[in-house]
Amino acid sequence: MSDWIDLPTAWGDVHREARMVVHHALQIVAAAGATHLDSEPELQRSTVGYEPEEGGFVGRVLGSGCQLGLGGTPPHWRLYRDGRQRGRLRVAGQTVSTGATWSRVALRKEGLADTMLELPTWDLPPGPFDAGTVFPPVPFDGYLRLQAWYANSLRVLTRIQTEHGGSPVRVWPHRFDIATRLDLEGEVSLDVGMSPGSSAIDEPYLYAGSATLLGSVLPGSGQEAVVRAFFATAIASVS
């Protein structure tokens, strides 16, 4: 597990731009799972993992051991087979249509069915996915901050998941949050996670259950203990 990454507390336009671009680009990866894992519920098969070693997101394993991912600096859509990268396409300058076509062709070459990706229909913040416009370059500083946010989140949530027997830590592409569901004593379930920000709360925040309890607290320098304490308090309150 990667070490905690210290982050500045300021949150600005470059971070919002990076969040928007990566959130929209991630829908291609989610669509591959939705298309080729049709025996599972839609939201579940669309989830992705975050892998710090890859510097990005990796989708569900499909047929022939294939996965789509999104990562690198600058971000690229990536094709993996049996854990090895087999191809990639830089996101900047593409549209959702060209990204989906590249993914379809790449998966077909690896033996999967030649099927148009089932692009999600849930609401997203305004951006290239729903407008059909070209993806802009991702601001470098904002993108590195976003990568660090997910790496920190994975570090904390994986430890909580291991201690309390929760579900696998996954990124949910419709809201772009990373979370686990804990099954506590007395048939009590608690969703705990971290979001890089949303239309309701513009900055990254922590949450437990259905209520946001800490607002826009960032896991920045010296704050890992604060993040752990927040989740410990939330778990204790329902256990």
**pLDDT given for residue 186 in this prediction:** 66
List, in sequence order, the alpha helices (H) in the chain.
Answer: 13-36, 42-46, 96-109, 128-131, 140-164, 224-238
Task: Read off the pTM.
Answer: 0.91
Mean pLDDT of 6-25: 87
| Dihedral angle of Cα 50, 79, 142, 120, to the nearest 10 degrees | -80
**pLDDT given for residue 39 in this prediction:** 73
Domain boundaries, the chain: 13-131, 140-238
Cα–Cα distance list, 8 to 20, 108, 129 (Å) = 20, 43, 29
Mean pLDDT of 59-75: 94
What is the per-residue pLDDT across 77-99, written as a single tens digit (0 to 9) for each?
999 999 999 999 999 999 999 99
Mean pLDDT of 6-10: 73
What is the per-residue pLDDT across 120-172, written as a single tens digit (0 to 9) for each?
888 888 888 877 899 999 999 999 999 998 999 999 999 999 998 899 999 99
Band of the pLDDT at 216, cuts 50, 70, 90? very low
**pLDDT given for residue 229 in this prediction:** 81
How many other β-carbons are positioned within 10 Å of the β-carbon of residue 211? 7
**pLDDT given for residue 52 in this prediction:** 93
Q: Tell me which DSSP letter residue 79 carries.
A: E
